[in-house]
Amino acid sequence: MGASRAVAALALVTVSLIVPVSRSLAGSPAKASQATNAFAQYIQHRFADARGYWTCPAAQIAGSDASCLAELRVGRFRHLFSATFDVSASGATLVNSFDTRWARRWSAYSHGLISGFSTPGTASVNGRGFDWVWLAAGAYAGRNHRDAFIVDSYDGNGTGWGAFYNFTCGHHGSVIQCTNAFGDSIRYRP
């Protein structure tokens, strides 16, 4: 076997994870459950002592592809971890994964964090992994709300991922602070 074929075979073994399932795949809720179980097993294998929330919602399944997302805490680090599984009657196979890792702490206020949509002002964030530019544009659009409002920070169909991408925003003096279900947050000064 040539070196490149050996590397390809090793890569295939490294990313392939098969989780057998005995129930039928009648529809996407069954596929979602199967993918979520496989994702949970993969998370426990990849991250020792991971705590957090993970899901592969039925709305994020297209054909046999299930898109999964997790926010995890491993030691002092947070992870926004995504994966795609190919789901079939014989199991769920990991296709790919992507991990963004950070230690939670507030950044300095900067316009660079939110530049991209001509949104004025500056912002401070307490982590990575989110589209702060998109979120700041939503906070700016909602700045005149007197009460709390929600900004969906996912540019696309985020059905089933509301805990990650729906940020509740409110005024704190001249600052608009938006926070999701896990405490990821932006402080935006218009």
What are the tens digits of pLDDT across the range 28-76?
799 999 999 999 999 999 998 999 999 999 999 999 999 999 999 999 9
DSSP classification of residue 24:
-
Residue 3: the pLDDT is 35
Residue 110 lies in a domain: no
Residue 116: the pLDDT is 87
Residue 13 lies in a domain: yes
Answer yes or no: do 135 and 180 share one domain: yes
The string over 152-174, giving b where at least 16 C-beta atoms fall within 10 Å of a residue's C-beta and e elsewhere, is ebbeeebebbeebbbbebeeeee
Answer yes or no: do 95 and 135 share one domain: no
Of 48, 69, 103, the residue that ends a domain is: 103
Residue 174: the pLDDT is 94
What's the predicted TM-score (pTM) here?
Answer: 0.82
Answer yes or no: do 11 and 99 share one domain: yes
Look at the chain and report how many structural domains it folds into: 2
Answer yes or no: do 14 and 87 share one domain: yes
Of 103, 130, 145, the residue that ends a domain is: 103
Tell the burial category of 181 from Cβ atoms under 10 Å away from its Cβ (0-12, 13-18, 19+): middle
- Phi, psi (rounded to 5 degrees) for 40: -60, -45
Residue 113 lies in a domain: no
Residue 146: the pLDDT is 86
Answer yes or no: do 96 and 139 share one domain: no
Instruction: Report the pLDDT averaged over residues 163-185.
Output: 97
Answer yes or no: do 8 and 91 share one domain: yes
Answer yes or no: do 89 and 159 share one domain: no
Distance of CA 184 to the CA centre of its chain: 11
Residue-wise pLDDT tens digits, 72-125: 999 999 999 999 999 998 999 999 999 999 999 999 999 999 998 999 999 999
Residue 94 lies in a domain: yes
pLDDT above 50 for 126: yes
Integer Cα distance of 60 and 46 in angstroms: 22
Answer yes or no: do 17 and 89 share one domain: yes
Answer yes or no: do 87 and 128 share one domain: no
Residue 46: the pLDDT is 96
Residue-wise pLDDT tens digits, 133-147: 999 999 999 999 889
**Residue 39: enclosing H or E segment and its boundaries?**
helix 28-46
Amino acid identity, position 148? A
Residue 42: the pLDDT is 97
Of 103, 130, 159, the residue that ends a domain is: 103
Indicate the SS3 state at residue 117. coil
Amino acid identity, position 90? S
Average pLDDT along the chain: 87
Residue-wise pLDDT tens digits, 2-21: 433 332 332 222 233 333 33
Domain that holds residue 9: 3-103
